[in-house]
Amino acid sequence: MTYDRSVSAGDPPPPIPGARLLFSLDAAIAYLNHGAFGAVPIGVQRAQRRLRDEAERNPMAFFRAPALTDRIVHTRRHLAQFLGADPEGSALVPNTTAGVSLVLQSVRLRPGDEVLLTDHGYGANALATRRQCRRDGATARTVALPVDAGDDEVVARIRGALRPGRTRLLVVDQITSPTAKVLPVREIATAARAHDIPVLVDAAHVPGMLPVDVDRIGADFWVGNLHKWGYAPRGTALLVVAPPWRRRMEPLVVSWEQDAGFPLNVEFQGTLDYTSWLAAPTGLFTLRTLGVEAVRRHNAALAAYGQRVVGAALGLAPADLPDPGAAEASMRVLPLPSGIGTTYAEAHAVRQRIADKLATEVAVNAWGGRGWLRLSAQVYNQAEEYESLAQHLPALLNDLR
């Protein structure tokens, strides 16, 4: 099948001038999977390198208290302000999954308790939840949400799945990883709060992609990565905790700031490489320099264009293309042909084949008994990369039948 530009259903957005030159990605690879590990701008890489050089010139001076902890606090305040979060109730953590594990440990489940998940949740967080439940004698339960469910249906299904007196924690994604669906977390938190059920929001993809005011969501816990859409070095995330829980938060590893309490007892971990955190404000500076709203509009429009182009090449009608539910969503999914990528191992193999044969990095996930292709869009991407994928993907998938 040959890609026909006439089926693209609209023009792609114009590129942001000079944005592609800010990244060191291999020009021979179409990197359409920013949502996986992000991509660090060159200026941010250099900022982190300078910090590492500083540490190696005199490690004692770099790690000495209170100089290092003061720098950590300053960075935390900067990131929290960007996200609309209380800096005193926020802690820097390595990634969202680390923050989720920290919350699961600190909630202190008891035998008979349950943690409620959705079937759109990130796999590693589901594993962490089940492990903690096994340790504490609790159970993990999953509520199913249709991929095309609107906000009202999502809230109604989750509300109906809550078991007051038994559900000890609700874990919900703000942007789902396998289905790129934006969930109405503020309304979900309100529904759970009516039954005094704490809510943990996995917001791994939110910082930088969506406008957010964390404190207004009303969740008990919220954690998001800055190293995806916020241009920070990898290993940078912010965990935000509501006031009633802060004194109960315990780090996964105890170090010298334990007596300081949350958040420093979580943040200070001895000889951890703190340079990713300290360089994170440079990432936000890069985002602001490009224009936060301009970047969001560009990325969302390009992701939608890519979804339409590739979907048309696979014979999908517009109605078959899931709507992420937010205008700024910079990830889009589309279903693969029946029987392709329906298990974790098969999805991984399809993704690797696309990378090897088409020099294109995408995400492929198995969800709901079907394989799903997830496309991301970032300022370094071009419309031609999606068009090339559309031209060559059908033949590759036909070979897998």
Same domain, 328 and 205: no
Q: Is pLDDT of 18 > 90? A: yes
Whether 39 is in a domain gets the answer: no
Same domain, 267 and 158: yes
pLDDT at 65: 84
Whether 322 is in a domain gets the answer: yes
Q: Is pLDDT of 391 > 90? A: yes
> Looking at 285, 317, 335, which one is the last position of a domain?
285
Same domain, 375 and 329: yes
* Enclosing H/E stretch for 349: helix 344-358
pLDDT at 2: 37
Whether 344 is in a domain gets the answer: yes
Same domain, 335 and 233: no
The string of DSSP codes covering 157-214 is: HHHHH--TTTEEEEEEESB-TTT--B--HHHHHHHHHTTT--EEEE-TT-BTTB---H
Q: What is the mean pLDDT of the chain?
A: 95
Look up residue 295 and give its two tokens. 């970047």
pLDDT at 310: 98
CB 51, CB 275: distance < 8 Å: yes
d(CA 394, CA 336): 10
Whose tokens are 């917001």? That residue is: 203
d(CA 356, CA 47): 33
**Which pTM was predicted?**
0.95
Q: Which domain holds residue 244?
A: 44-285
Mean per-residue pLDDT for 151-155? Answer: 98
Whether 335 is in a domain gets the answer: yes
How many independent structural domains does the chain possess?
A: 2
d(CA 30, CA 385): 6
Same domain, 237 and 375: no
pLDDT at 6: 39
Question: What is the pLDDT confidence band of residue 5, given thresholds at 50, 70 and 90?
Answer: very low
pLDDT at 229: 98
Partnered with residue 361 across adjacent β-strands are 31
Same domain, 71 and 159: yes
Same domain, 394 and 315: yes
Q: Can you tell me whether residue 375 is helix, strand or coil?
A: strand
Same domain, 227 and 300: no
Q: What is the CATH number of the domain that holds 205?
A: 3.40.640.10
At 53-104, the pLDDT tens digits run 999 999 999 999 899 999 999 999 999 999 999 999 999 999 999 999 999 9
Same domain, 105 and 193: yes
> Looking at 254, 285, 316, which one is the last position of a domain?
285
Same domain, 222 and 320: no
Same domain, 132 and 243: yes
CA dihedral 93, 96, 102, 104 (to 10 degrees): 170
Whether 36 is in a domain gets the answer: no
Same domain, 216 and 110: yes
Whether 38 is in a domain gets the answer: no
Question: What is the pLDDT confidence band of residue 138, given thresholds at 50, 70 and 90?
Answer: very high
Whether 128 is in a domain gets the answer: yes
> Looking at 285, 300, 320, which one is the last position of a domain?
285
Alpha carbon 375 to its chain's center? 14
Please, where are the H alpha helices in 5-57?
34-37, 42-57
User: Torsions phi, psi of 334, nearest 5?
Assistant: -145, 145
pLDDT at 1: 33
At 329-352, the pLDDT tens digits run 999 999 999 999 999 999 999 999
Q: Is pLDDT of 44 > 90? A: yes
Q: What is the CATH number of the domain that holds 21?
A: 3.90.1150.10
Q: Is pLDDT of 359 > 90? A: yes
pLDDT at 8: 41
Mean per-residue pLDDT for 156-171? Answer: 98
User: Torsions phi, psi of 141, nearest 5?
Assistant: -130, 150
C-alpha distances (whole Å) from 88 to each of 13, 104, 266 are: 40, 20, 12
User: Torsions phi, psi of 91, nearest 5?
Assistant: -140, 140
